[in-house]
Structure 1
Amino acid sequence: MKTWKTWGIVAVSGLLIILSWLTPAEMILSDAFMIAAAVVAGWQIALSAYQALRIKMISIDLLVIVAAVGALFLQNWWESAAVTFLFALGKALEKATMNRTRQALSDLVDAAPETATILRDGEPDTVEIWELVPGDTVLVRNGEQVPVDGRVISGHGGVDEATITGESVPAEKAADSEVFAGTWLRSGVLRIEAIGIGSDSTLAKIIHRVEDAQDDKAKTQTFLEKFSTYYTPGVMVTALVIGLITSNVELALTLLVIGCPGALVISIPVSIVAGIGRSAKDGVLIKGGEYLETAAKVDTVVVDKTGTLTNGRPVLTDVEVIDPSYSDEDVLLLAARAETASEHPLAEAIIQGAENKGLTVAMVEKAEPVAGRGIRADVDGATVAVGSADLLDHTPDNTRILELNDQGRTAMYVGVNGRAIGIVAVADTIRDDAPAAIRSLHDKGIRVVMATGDAQRVARNVAAELGVDEVRAELMPEDKLEIVKELQAQGRVVAMVGDGVNDTPALATADIGVAMGAAGSPAAIETADIALMADRLPRLPYALGVAKRTVNTMRVNIGIALLTVTILLIGVLLGGVTMSIGMLVHEASVLLVIAIAMLLLRPTLKEPQAAAKKAAADTHQTATT
């Protein structure tokens, strides 16, 4: 039923009740207005009750309509009108507030672009989204919406990706950067190769996931619905028995009204919709009510190191001089120039470190990689070696090298003509947001286990710096699976955070599998129990916090619903609670549990602005390198 029709019925019924009050009681028109009010408000309730009976279901609507019709036969016109009017009003308000809790999904749907500007023979042409095909070149100007998932061909600009990742700071985009449909270009101009169009876009996958998740039932909700199928007929039988025993029909009808389990039934779905909707708005996709309940129980998080707790790429950390005739810059520049001939992953870290210090790193013409040891290169007529002591003519004191290695860094000698002149060291650095994320998990009473394939010494140093509770190093993918099983055997509820590739077995076995940085990865969005769209570790404790708050809200709402029914029942048995009062309190309880659930819609994600800016800077650096 359309919104205007719903509220129209409530308005007409209410107006008829007012007219009845304004008409002198001795006039028959007064009763006619009240009967008309009951009929106007009650016909839709009766229709719903009939439709439920057709599928062999005794609904709350049936309890209300039996009570209202019974009141009419008792010539209690006001009670009948009040019960139907208040129930119709409650349903209208319930529908309005449920629509409000689904606002996050509505916002996502509204964010879906409808048109795009493509370049044909160098000329812009506006077309409908469905007219695009993969490979088309799409032009996006400042202030326009990105219409497709794609790759930037040329141009530069800042893109607001809040609809996808929940990030408030625009991400810098340049050639080869990835962009998503539904985001907005806030500066610059981009030419984009279309890859994901319409239903194949990341935004469409998110909308589909949130739709399914908000309709997915939690175990508690499933239980309550089963309970309601027995409870509602039980109320009718109880009211009938009491009516026969006491010969008090009005008492029996009043019991039907106060026995309505409306607040109990609505308390769970409205909480789930609000919790999942809020998290989706903040770039956290929770698969459904069942997973939300499980996430609230998580007491142990198993997290990979590389790319999750650390940045996943080595950087220059140390430059030290052994021969005082050379400066720090001399040692670094010689090492960087030698490494221009190397394809080793650590070479780029040394070269980038030198360039970051303003040094000009020229390519070398002649070099000799030495497998497992390093590289020798001809630099301006001198033989420069970068690597282990085996590349030098004389073995220097290796105390400092061992100290750096024990700190989790990879240290290398820099030698000139067989003699050590200095040391350079590189390491995979800890993410800026990792310490805060670990602290937040600890504040929630969650144990953190780091599981990595890296060496023990490296893992120990990272763990000590972050304060994780347990370290498991030098692991194969199947070892991570065994760790998850071991923790579960200890009675722990385990969340596994990984990249979704080599961690797939562990992610599938864990009570909750978490994919981080899932934007642009449809497989991660579809398969993970929780998908963190942004590559931001603090979103993990936030997601677990949302789950816990949602479950706590569900419990509070169930308590309110049960307490309301109990108080009303006592009131009826002691006298003083009529059908109209019972329905008023019942609908008030329904609105109360909805209002409490709507508190979940309040923004609670708080991340340091510095971290957000750092994320944007990292995006820009990745885009331009």
Structure 2
Amino acid sequence: MNQMQAWLSGRWAVPAVSGALIVASFAVGSESWGDVLMVAAAVVAGWQIVLTAVRALMAKVIGIDLLVAVAAIGAVVIGEYWEAAAVTFLFAIGHALENATLTRTRSALAELVAVAPDVAVVLRDGEQTEVPAAAVVAGETVLVKNGAKVPVDGVVIGGNGALDEASITGESIPVEKSDGDQVFAGTVSRGGFLQVEATGVGADTTLARIIHRVEEAQDAKARTQAFMDRFSAWYTPAIIVLAVAVGLVTGDVVLALTLLVIGCPGALVISIPVAVVAGIGRGAKDGILVKGGEFLETSARISAVALDKTGTLTEGRPRLTDVVVLDDGLDRAAVLSWAARAEAGSEHPLARPVISAARDEGLSVAGLPETTEPVPGKGIVATLDGHRVAVGNLALIAAEGITDDDGAAAVVDALASAGRTPVVVALDGRVVGVVAVADRVRVDAPEMVRRLHAAGVRKVLMLTGDTERVARAVAAQVGVDEVRAGLLPEDKLAAIAELQREGHTVAMVGDGVNDAPALATADIGVAMGAAGTGVAIETADIALMRDDLLTLPQALLLARRTVGVMRQNIVIALATVALLLAGVLLGGVTMAVGMLVHEVSVLVVIANAMRLLRRRSRPAPPVATQPAPTQPAPVQA
């Protein structure tokens, strides 16, 4: 009984019953009974069409259903029962097929919903307890065993394992997790055992935010779609007027009703939304979240891409690259040790990589200097074991009254030209060495720039607040077209506005939080590595979930493919309607034949859009075979 009810409420019940009645009408020997069955078939397939048309009219909307309803009722009135049954039957089949294929185009969203975990195993009072995933409280310890879904966003506090994060980042290779690593709800354990402290539960998880974003994006209208909606609002009444005029002039009611059916702009109306849904769905599967159809369209026109340097073109984690000894009485370890111990009392951003490198080399940096004196814009002066240690730029050395730099200026110049940030170390009034730090250029950055150019981007530029020398050293390796260094946030905004005045459609790539003015001003704001970053997911026009530069050109190519499909669909829809109208007016195209061709055109449009769901193979990212350009061999004094 339940199966029967489910079938009757399914999408195929109406066309199946209507089709059976049509077959029965041809099978019975009585013409009168045949007519009754044919009318019954029209009523079964057409009552929902009429109801939808009436509701639309009450909302002051003249849609496709009204054209079909008027044509079917008119055909019954004038005794064309077969035409009435055929039109409504074909429209019902077309509607069922549209629903089925549109469901397929929304498969990415369905898959995201499917991976949402239902249950969680938590530690409560020292015992493992299985609870609904939504019932987990932030701060609780969740256990993730092999094969289980991670039910919450959180941080690993014990154990080791590998997680399949494809549902979040689109990356199919499992990621190793251990203490301190972040995990996301909906990812799947492929081995190991993890203890996770819950930081985000329920609607606060990254997966929930992604689902919400994809839902909104697939319902958001592209500019072309909005235009087509306005076009249809005028087109449909125009077809009704044309049909009435032809009927009055020719006296042929069948011709007028046929024009109503043939003029249905069904394929035209669905041509844009089905492409947008498929394109956004494909992107979601690949870890590319697009805010909506309008942004997908705009992305297809991007001609200039502005890239932040730190954290985008580079790894965003400065590390020690050089220790140059300038005093014969000291060795490398001593120079690094003095620098690290002095920096222990500093808030300078370069202090951390120097201290970390010293610790990694087994040098003691415990404790703080006896005194610490920051010198704004120059460096720091500290007292260590009664010795005065100055760590900073050449201006600090001059301020210390040191006139002989023992060749430090030449070393500083060479290091800066190589794209590194040099720091001079002075001990008790004499220069003893230079240490340098640098942020590694991402190994896939040059390939990303090449692919952007191949995708049709005319200008790729780097916007950074770093020094000119460092910026140009990075740019030389990456291959960007233009470099603008020493910029404040408002300068980056001005650079974006200048590109727009030159006629470019601009994408700005940043971290989704910093550089907010430039991201907001750009035609498209792109957030890199947005997994787990709620602000980036919600605010960026495009959020790239994977911290992978090659997804940027992939996103632009997807946008171009989607817009190409939209244009193809519009041509298919308009050409079909034009040919059918010509066929009706010149003779030879009946109401049933016209509806059949019309429904076929709708399916062709949908099938064309579904091509976007196929994943195009992406070349493997380049493999680093040598140190990145910001980490060359040590400079010799």
TM-score (norm 1): 0.89
Pair 1:166 & 2:149 matched: no
CA distance in 2, matches of 1:65, 1:374: 83
Pair 1:475 & 2:480 matched: no
Pair 1:408 & 2:413 matched: no
Matched position secondary structure for 1:608: coil
Alignment correspondent of 1:37 = 41
Matched position secondary structure for 2:10: helix
The one-letter amino acid of 1:118's match is V
CA distance in 2, matches of 1:62, 1:235: 11
Q: Deviations over 1:116-156 (max 9, x none)?
A: 11111221111112322222121112221111112222222
CA distance in 2, matches of 1:420, 1:481: 41
Which moves more between the two structures, 293-302 or 209-218? Answer: 293-302
CA distance in 2, matches of 1:363, 1:461: 32
Pair 1:263 & 2:273 matched: no
- How far is 1:387 from its partner? 6.5
CA distance in 2, matches of 1:30, 1:334: 104
- How far is 1:560 from its partner? 0.7
Q: Deviations over 1:62-94 (max 9, x none)?
A: 211222222223333322222111111110000
Pair 1:534 & 2:539 matched: no
CA distance in 2, matches of 1:589, 1:170: 42
One of 406, 419, 427 as aligned partner of 1:396: 406
Alignment correspondent of 2:184 = 180
Q: Deviations over 1:407-460 (max 9, x none)?
A: 211245678999888765331111122111111111122111211110011111
Matched position secondary structure for 2:526: strand
Map 1:469-618 onto structure 2 (within 5 A): 469-604=481-616, 606=618, 608=620
Q: Deviations over 1:541-577 (max 9, x none)?
A: 2222222211111111011100001111111122111
Pair 1:85 & 2:89 matched: yes
Which moves more between the two structures, 130-139 or 467-476? Answer: 130-139
- How far is 1:611 from its partner? 6.7
Structure 1 pair 350–582 and aligned structure 2 pair: CA distance change class (3 A): same
- How far is 1:177 from its partner? 2.0
The one-letter amino acid of 2:196's match is I
Map 1:306-385 onto structure 2 (within 5 A): 306-318=310-322, 331=332, 333-341=333-341, 342-343=343-344, 345-346=349-350, 348-350=352-354, 359-363=361-365, 372=378
Q: Deviations over 1:170-220 (max 9, x none)?
A: 223222222211112222222222221101111111111111111111121
- How far is 1:113 from its partner? 1.4
CA distance in 1, matches of 2:612, 2:121: 39
Map 1:97-112 onto structure 2 (within 5 A): 97-112=101-116
The one-letter amino acid of 1:429's match is R
Alignment correspondent of 1:438 = 449
Instruction: Report if the CA contact (8 A) 1:114-1:147 is conserved.
Output: yes
Q: Deviations over 1:509-540 (max 9, x none)?
A: 21111121222221221111111112222222
One of 9, 15, 20 as aligned partner of 2:20: 15
CA distance in 2, matches of 1:364, 1:253: 91
Q: Deviations over 1:290-325 (max 9, x none)?
A: 222222221111211111111112233346677899
CA distance in 1, matches of 2:424, 2:487: 29
Alignment correspondent of 2:634 = none
Matched position secondary structure for 2:193: strand
Matched position secondary structure for 2:312: coil
Instruction: Report if the CA contact (8 A) 1:366-1:377 is conserved.
Output: no
Matched position secondary structure for 2:317: strand
Aligned length: 605
Instruction: Report if the CA contact (8 A) 1:435-1:466 is conserved.
Output: yes
CA distance in 2, matches of 1:382, 1:401: 24
Q: Deviations over 1:26-77 (max 9, x none)?
A: 6444434333322222222122212212222222112112222222233333
CA distance in 2, matches of 1:291, 1:303: 19
CA distance in 2, matches of 1:145, 1:456: 48
The one-letter amino acid of 1:560's match is I
Alignment correspondent of 1:619 = none
Structure 1 pair 68–116 and aligned structure 2 pair: CA distance change class (3 A): same
Which moves more between the two structures, 589-598 or 147-156? Answer: 147-156
The one-letter amino acid of 2:494's match is E
Structure 1 pair 416–476 and aligned structure 2 pair: CA distance change class (3 A): closer
CA distance in 1, matches of 2:447, 2:335: 35
Aligned-CA RMSD value: 3.1
Map 1:40-59 onto structure 2 (within 5 A): 40-59=44-63
The one-letter amino acid of 1:541's match is P
Which moves more between the two structures, 1-10 or 158-167? Answer: 1-10
Which moves more between the two structures, 515-524 or 82-91? Answer: 515-524
One of 432, 449, 465 as aligned partner of 2:477: 465
The one-letter amino acid of 1:167's match is E
Instruction: Report if the CA contact (8 A) 1:542-1:605 is conserved.
Output: no
Alignment correspondent of 2:635 = none
Instruction: Report if the CA contact (8 A) 1:480-1:506 is conserved.
Output: yes
Pair 1:70 & 2:74 matched: yes
Matched position secondary structure for 1:313: coil
Q: Deviations over 1:477-519 (max 9, x none)?
A: 1111111122222222111112233311111121111121222
Which moves more between the two structures, 213-222 or 258-267? Answer: 213-222
Instruction: Report if the CA contact (8 A) 1:338-1:375 is conserved.
Output: no
Gaps of 5+ in 2: 627-637
The one-letter amino acid of 1:433's match is D
- How far is 1:606 from its partner? 2.1
Alignment correspondent of 1:623 = none
